[in-house]
Amino acid sequence: MIPFNYLGYFFKHFGSVIYPKEVLDELCIFLEQLKGEESVLDVGAGTGVMSEFAHRCNSNLKYVAVDPAEGMLKYAPNYAQVHVGMAEALPFEDDNFEAVLMGESLHHFNDPDVAMKEVVRVLKKDGKLFIYDFDFGTFRGKAICTMEKLLGEPGHFYEVDALKKMLESHGFKVEISKHKWRYTVSASL
Ligand SMILES: C[S@@+](CC[C@H](N)C(=O)[O-])C[C@H]1O[C@@H](n2cnc3c(N)ncnc32)[C@H](O)[C@@H]1O
């Protein structure tokens, strides 16, 4: 397993490097759908890299970060409310958030299908989901998957068509944009 609990300092200082400009542009476009002070949940937030980028696009939103690794969460920005928890058992009531973000975290979940049920449960009606992750349909995506599995990670990497089907099975309308070996998903219930 990757010892995320001890990698907070590293992710705080270098985690943003892996977010290309196209992904940040897509994130800002996604957040344009939220016009007020809606609540946004960053799942597998780590040190809050995704929330920090989102905050630069829209600082009116209420940011909530959830992650099992306290050693990552302790570096989250102070405008984010932090919670220790797993994607498969989100520590929130039903119908709580207007949007959910996942930055390079989906492939680390033990059970993405259970996690997605949880996401649907905590999202409000017409809730929205943004995912950024690595495309298993590319050479680089496959290489990262192999490396992570060697490190004992679950390695739930998706090809974009399979991910679209999975998300649709949970009731999402899905748009996926490919960015070389990475993708972003903009979805809504
Ligand atoms: C590669 S880091 C990404 C962190 C952050 N989203 C970013 O973009 O820098 C993956 C994160 O997923 C978290 N994680 C691992 N298993 C998880 C699970 N079952 N539920 C929620 N988060 C999980 C890890 O603790 C880690 O912080």
Determine if ligand 1 sits within 6 Å of the CB of residue 53: no
pLDDT of residue 3: 96
pLDDT of residue 79: 98
What residue numbers bound the domain in which 125 lies? Answer: 4-188
pLDDT of residue 157: 97
Tell how strand 173-179 and strand 97-103 pair up: unpaired
CATH code: domain of residue 19:
3.40.50.150
Number of domains in the chain: 1
Mean pLDDT by 10 residues, the chain (189 residues): 96 93 97 95 98 97 98 98 98 98 98 98 98 98 97 97 98 97 98
- In testing the pocket of ligand 1, which one of 24, 55, 108 has its CB within 8 Å of the most ligand atoms? 108
pLDDT of residue 25: 97
Full 3-state SS string of the chain: CCCHHHCHHHHHHHHHHHCCHHHHHHHHHHHCCCCCCCEEEEECCCCCHHHHHHHHHCCCCEEEEEECCHHHHCCCCCCEEEEECECCECCCCCCCEEEEEEECCHHHCCCHHHHHHHHHHHEEEEEEEEEEEEECCCHHHHHHHHHHHHCCCCCCCECHHHHHHHHHHCCCEEEEEEECCEEEEEEEC
- In testing the pocket of ligand 1, which one of 105, 117, 122, 153 has its CB within 8 Å of the most ligand atoms? 105
pLDDT of residue 60: 96
pLDDT of residue 112: 98
CA distances from 185 to 3, 73, 75, 133, 144 (A): 27, 24, 26, 9, 19
pLDDT of residue 109: 98
What's the CA-to-centroid distance between 42 and ligand 1, angstroms?
10
